[in-house]
Structure 1
Amino acid sequence: MTTLPERPNTALLVIDVQNGVMVPGSPRLEQVIAHINTLIGKARAEGVPVVWVQHGDEELVPGSESWEYVPQLKRLDTEPLVHKRYRDSFEDTQLESVLAGLGVGRLVVTGAQSDFCIRSTLHGALVRGYDATLVADAHTTEDLTQYGAPAPEQVIAHTNFYWSGQHAPGRRGGTVSTAEVEFTVTR
């Protein structure tokens, strides 16, 4: 249903699965990484683009160990890598031009953190005309309760809940489990 009809393709978006983001205490950390690996394998097998997004700032200094993707995930040199500085993966990045070049109008979103970069990117995609599906069991967040945030399990559950019903004219959000992901759209 995307409002980008000249872009019939789907891409898997892997956001910020970096050493300094995927920290101990994040719920289901190893399971989330395993699910993302499953999705990457499925996307590659089906010829679906895998687009990697990597955050950089004063805490995730480009080139540092914390900035690197977790070692369990391996990006192919042929797969686009988008560097960002803001929570929304579209903001001041090359993501839009990468997706346009691939003919992508539908995103399947995974990564971290649920309450920051995942949420911002989902909304950024929807307002830019993309369909954006969140993989409910392939994102996580760290424990920020000391700053007044809900427990991370609640943040994840709430993100899944409110994104499951998201839509806008000609666009839709939604959530699926890793097992339910279908990269080809049948209408």
Structure 2
Amino acid sequence: MATSHHRVLLLLDVQEGMLSGKKAIPAATQVRNNVTTILNHARYKANPPPLIIHVRNDGGSGEPDELGTPGWQLIHKPLPSEQVIDKSKNNAFAGTKLGKLIPEDAVIVVVGLQSDFCIRATCSAALGRGNAVLLIRGSHTTFDRLEVLHGGGITPARTIEREVEAELEEAGVVVLDMKDLPVIFADDR
């Protein structure tokens, strides 16, 4: 195991393309502010500090996070002690060194994008590895979903977030609120 950290803050796809500009996700401002608050708490208030890992999605041509474009850039500049991992799949463990960086007994705090893709897949994979996973309401989001079946319509991002939270909670993820931030990085072992 590459680190002795018991807590890990995993920032999934917290990139310019989806959190700013014309292609931003509907709750971009709130999620961006909450992720910034969580990251600052982890960096400057948590004792001991968690391992902080930024995961950057390598989006395809024309996507908001297209590789090498301004939208691909991370919102938060990583500090020298923080890891950056690039991924091309929903599951951040697939095809990356993430599994080598995070001990199987670590508690992973997950924030970022998108609830119904990378958040769901990465949380599920972490549970499968044996990690405890904490997901913070208001720190993850997605796009509204255009429905093509059952008469069409649009499912709001907020509804999708809640559905994913319920699904992940049933699988074993602990879903917390922003008010829980003071104790989220407490090392209780």
Shorter chain as normaliser: what TM range? 0.7 to 0.9
Q: Is 1:159 aligned to residue 164 of structure 2?
A: yes
Partner of residue 50 from structure 2, selected from 48, 51, 65: 48
> Do the aligned partners of residues 90 and 48 (structure 1) sit closer, same or farther apart at CA in structure 2, a change above 3 Å counting?
same
Q: Is 1:28 aligned to residue 27 of structure 2?
A: yes
Cα deviation, residue 164, structure 1: 2.6
Partner of residue 86 from structure 1, selected from 81, 85, 89: 89
TM-score normalised by L of structure 1: 0.82
Cα deviation, residue 131, structure 1: 0.6
- Stretch deviating more after TM superposition (87-96 or 14-23): 14-23
| Aligned-residue identity in percent | 26
Partner of residue 9 from structure 1, selected from 2, 6, 13: 6
Q: What is the alpha-carbon distance in structure 2 between the residues aligned to residue 144 and residue 165 of structure 1?
A: 23
Q: Which residue of 1 aligns with 2:36?
A: 37
Q: Does the 8 Å contact 2:106/2:131 carry over to 1?
A: yes
Per-residue CA distance 1:84-117 (angstroms, 9 max, x = gap): 01000000101011223xx861100000000000
Q: Does the 8 Å contact 1:87/1:121 carry over to 2?
A: yes
Q: Does the 8 Å contact 2:5/2:106 carry over to 1?
A: yes
Q: What is the alpha-carbon distance in structure 2 between the residues aligned to residue 156 and residue 76 of structure 1?
A: 29
Q: What is the alpha-carbon distance in structure 2 between the residues aligned to residue 57 and residue 20 of structure 1?
A: 10
Q: Does the 8 Å contact 2:124/2:168 carry over to 1?
A: no
How well do the aligned residues superpose, as a CA RMSD in angstroms? 2.4
Q: Which residue of 2 aligns with 1:178?
A: 178
Q: Which amino acid in 2 is paired with 1:174?
A: V
Q: Is 1:109 aligned to residue 106 of structure 2?
A: no
Cα deviation, residue 22, structure 1: 2.8
Cα deviation, residue 179, structure 1: 2.1
Q: Which amino acid in 2 is paired with 1:26?
A: I
Q: What is the alpha-carbon distance in structure 1 between the residues aligned to residue 36 and residue 16 of structure 2?
A: 16
Q: Which amino acid in 1 is paired with 2:161?
A: I
SS in structure 1 of the partner of residue 18 of structure 2: coil
Q: Which amino acid in 1 is paired with 2:102?
A: L
Q: What is the alpha-carbon distance in structure 1 between the residues aligned to residue 170 and residue 84 of structure 2?
A: 29
SS in structure 2 of the partner of residue 50 of structure 1: strand
SS in structure 2 of the partner of residue 21 of structure 1: helix
TM-score normalised by L of structure 2: 0.82
Q: What is the alpha-carbon distance in structure 2 between the residues aligned to residue 147 and residue 113 of structure 1?
A: 20
Cα deviation, residue 25, structure 1: 5.9
Q: Which residue of 2 aligns with 1:143?
A: 144
Q: Does the 8 Å contact 1:22/1:142 carry over to 2?
A: no
Cα deviation, residue 151, structure 1: 2.0
Q: What is the alpha-carbon distance in structure 1 between the residues aligned to residue 26 and residue 105 of structure 2?
A: 31
Number of corresponding residues: 174
